[in-house]
A and B are shown apart, each in its own frame.
Chain A
């Protein structure tokens, strides 16, 4: 199997920058995708292929990847950004897929 590791929680004040990391051995070879999940809702894609922002996602969301760590950055976080965030990727063979454990972002 394969694992992706995220911090359980991140907390920032409104307007500050929130950074959520995701570490995995295969990330130098595989993209990371990031999903936002608000309470009681299905996940929503916020970053694809390490750093691409889908249509409709605010510009304050960005992504990067270096070595074995991918990072989701929310610049100028808003109260509406409070949610659980998950990274998602595959092992080096591309046959076993995993989500990180999730990070709860608190903005207050």
Chain B
């Protein structure tokens, strides 16, 4: 059974940094592209960043480019999102999601999400 488990969320002050992790089980991470998606309270889903299976290709939304970095450690079956210069508008539940192939960011499985409140 495919499972994705996010961790690392929590309250952070504006301007601060945080690193989210996502461990995948039930599949081999290198065979799939991975994506982070967020959802602000009461709002819709927002694509944040994606990475190909090998890690050679990374893609970012305009709202996080230059502040967030997506990466992966396939030996640990783990995906990461390093977030810096955090703003109140980054407050959201952050979901880890699996792509359908090594290079396609279409999503088939989702984690349960981790909450990141950005507030002083």
Query: Chain A interface (Cβ within 8 Å of chain B)?
Result: 1, 31, 33, 35, 37, 42-45, 48-49, 54, 84, 86, 88, 90, 95-102
With a CB–CB cut-off of 8 A, which chain B residues contact A86?
44-45
Within the complex, what minimum Cβ distance (angstroms) separates A96 from chain B? 7
Q: A99-B37, A100-B44, A102-B44 are in contact. List 4 more A-B contacts (CB 8 A).
A: A42-B95, A42-B110, A42-B111, A102-B45
Q: Is the Cβ of A101 less than 8 Å from the Cβ of B44?
A: yes
Give the total number of A-B pairs whose CB atoms are below 8 A apart: 52
Q: Is the Cβ of B59 less than 8 Å from the Cβ of A44?
A: no
Q: Is the Cβ of B44 less than 8 Å from the Cβ of A88?
A: no
Given contacts A42-B113, A96-B59, contact A33 B44 (CB under 8 A): no
Q: Which of B44, B47, B100, B112 contacts A97 (CB 8 A)?
A: B47
Q: How large is the interface on B (under 10, 10 to 19, 20 to 34, 35 or more residues)?
A: 20 to 34
* Residues 89 to 117 of chain B near chain A (Cβ within 8 Å): 95, 100, 105-113
Q: Is the Cβ of B108 less than 8 Å from the Cβ of A98?
A: no
Is B50 part of the contact surface with A, judged by Cβ < 8 Å?
A: yes
Tell me whether chain A's interface is mostly helix, strand or loop, or mixed: strand
Given contacts A97-B35, A97-B59, A97-B105, contact A44 B47 (CB under 8 A): no
Q: Is the Cβ of B46 less than 8 Å from the Cβ of A99?
A: yes
